[in-house]
Amino acid sequence: MLLQFLSTARKQIAVAYGQKGGKDNVAILENLVQLRHKFAKLLGYTNYADFAIEPRMPKTSRKILEFLEEMSEQLSDVANRELNILKDLKIKEEGNAQFGMEDLLYYIKRAEEFKVDLDVGEIKQYFPVGLVISGMLKIFQDLFALRFDEIKDVDVWHDTVRVFSVWDASSSDLLGYFFLDIFSREGKYAHTCVVTLQNGCLCSNGTRKVPAAVILSQCPKEFDGNSALLRFPEVVRLFHEFSHVVHHVSNRATFSRFSGLRLEGDFAEIPSLLLENWCYESISLKMMSGFHQDITKSISSEACQSLKRRRDLFAGLKMKQEILLCLVDQIIHSSENVDIDDLIKDLHPKVMLGIPLLEGTSPASSFPRIAFGYDAVCYSYIWSEVFAADLFVSKFKDDLLNQHAGLRFRNKVLAPGGSKDPLEIITDYLGREPSLQPFIQSRTRNSL
């Protein structure tokens, strides 16, 4: 009786949530899309997607549609196996095999409870902020043959801000500077991000102007007089953002215009997504962790495994949901007068393994990325993840702190900045065209 009640309530909530934004938002979105097509035609393009994608890595909308469709197809096997696990769980709990979209997130969460043995509160005790920062700096120095020297007694905007010079470890050439402004204080910008302060370039007298960047975050500094503890997602976020700093200071482009983080949109996130992997491997995670009452005791290998497992669990189904929305974004921006609700109703069962769209819901009414900021380029995150997985598996996975591989990556992928075609940079570094397979295989291996 209770289970029946919960099931009905779950559906009611899912339907109400799926109507967020309502029909008005869908009408606004359709109007926005038509105006975008009109704008692109004034500039001589056939449709808005062609205009938005021309300067990006895939170059054409057709290529993106092929990419998304192939991803969806290649993930179908693993996603089907994941779905069968969730269906079995539902039968076990409710005795009912009818599985709808309202069940998806609920049963993924339930399955995670069985499959991942991880106490999030306990994990946090292994990440005192000071230790995370020093371990992170050491990993980047070791991997990329860099040396970070802290500069003391220098005027900065707050006494918790630290500043470092960056040197090439073998030649001792000065490469740049970065500021760590990671602790929270009143009135400070509330997000974790990187801001470039100066781009590098070659000056007319033959000297180099070096780049500088600041990483901003809102980490707590102390707790009860001790170094504050970071939640694991905060560790990953810091590591991700610091990768942008290293990309910035490694840049050796001739012109300032192509320096810094002025990178083609699909390329900008690839190095940071690649480097996030170091937060999920024991050897590197142990370098950034230590029990807060005894920092010689680093996080256990089992806990590292569980963190990775939690990241990848049900990755096929989660990615398929993302692909569905990216397909909608790409189709409406590459064809005119598409009825968005009809399109989603038609695509949903094709992408989501036969599960129909939940009656009465309209996912496009509450999908902000499609409305502004990522119009026609929602695919970008999946694209970057696929390239990052290929780079990780091909070059780093078996030897995470291999300085030879790191230095080669720094010189071939990070140093050119925006001065070379990104696809050329990656193809040249890999020695072949990038492939979907490492991403599909890693998710297939770890998702169940």
Residues taking part in catalysis: 241
**Cβ of residue 266: shortest distance to Zn ion, in angstroms?**
12
Residue 99 contacts residue 355 (beta carbons within 8 Å): yes
HSE-up of 24 (CA within 13 Å, CB side)? 2
- The Cα-based distances of 225 to 44, 184, 220 in angstroms read 63, 16, 12
Residue 250 interacting with Zn ion (CB under 5 A): no
**Residue with Cβ nearer Zn ion (50 or 269):** 269
**Cβ of residue 244: shortest distance to Zn ion, in angstroms?**
6
**Residue with Cβ nearer Zn ion (248 or 348):** 248
**Residue with Cβ nearer Zn ion (192 or 306):** 192
Could you give the string, one character per residue 255-284, with x where binding to Zn ion holds by CB under 5 A and - elsewhere? Answer: --------------x--x------------
**Cβ of residue 280: shortest distance to Zn ion, in angstroms?**
17
**Cβ of residue 269: shortest distance to Zn ion, in angstroms?**
5
Separation between Cα atoms, residue 176 and residue 323, nearest integer Å: 39
Which of 180, 166, 156, 289 shows the shortest CA–CA distance to 241?
A: 180
Looking up tokens 């189709």 gives 331
Which of 311, 277, 278 shows the shortest CA–CA distance to 446?
A: 311
**Residue with Cβ nearer Zn ion (266 or 269):** 269
Residue 266 CB partners (closer than 8 Å, separation 6+): 56, 57, 58, 377, 380, 383, 384, 422
Helix axis angle, 61-94 to 437-446, nearest 10° = 10
> Sign of torsion, CA 105 111 115 117?
positive
**Residue with Cβ nearer Zn ion (103 or 269):** 269
Residue 294 sits at φ, ψ, to 5 deg, of -155, 90
Separation between Cα atoms, residue 338 and residue 370, nearest integer Å: 14
Side chain identity at residue 120, one-letter code? V
**Residue with Cβ nearer Zn ion (151 or 193):** 193
- The Cα-based distances of 38 to 25, 49, 71 in angstroms read 20, 12, 31
Encode 276-294 in three state secondary structure: HHHHHCHHHHHHCCCECCE
Separation between Cα atoms, residue 220 and residue 409, nearest integer Å: 33
Total residues binding Zn ion (CB under 5 A) = 2
**Cβ of residue 268: shortest distance to Zn ion, in angstroms?**
7
**Cβ of residue 267: shortest distance to Zn ion, in angstroms?**
11
**Cβ of residue 102: shortest distance to Zn ion, in angstroms?**
33
**Cβ of residue 255: shortest distance to Zn ion, in angstroms?**
23
DSSP string, 3-22: HHHHHHHHHHHHHHHHTTTH
**Cβ of residue 310: shortest distance to Zn ion, in angstroms?**
21
The closest residue (CB) to Zn ion is 272
**Residue with Cβ nearer Zn ion (7 or 272):** 272
Separation between Cα atoms, residue 211 and residue 206, nearest integer Å: 16
**Residue with Cβ nearer Zn ion (240 or 333):** 240
**Residue with Cβ nearer Zn ion (229 or 249):** 249
**Angle subtended at Cα 89 by Cα 88 and Cα 92, rounded to the nearest 5 degrees:** 90
Which of 210, 208, 278, 282 shows the shortest CA–CA distance to 242?
A: 278
Separation between Cα atoms, residue 321 and residue 342, nearest integer Å: 17
> Sign of torsion, CA 84 86 92 96?
negative
Interacting residues with Zn ion (CB under 5 A): 269, 272
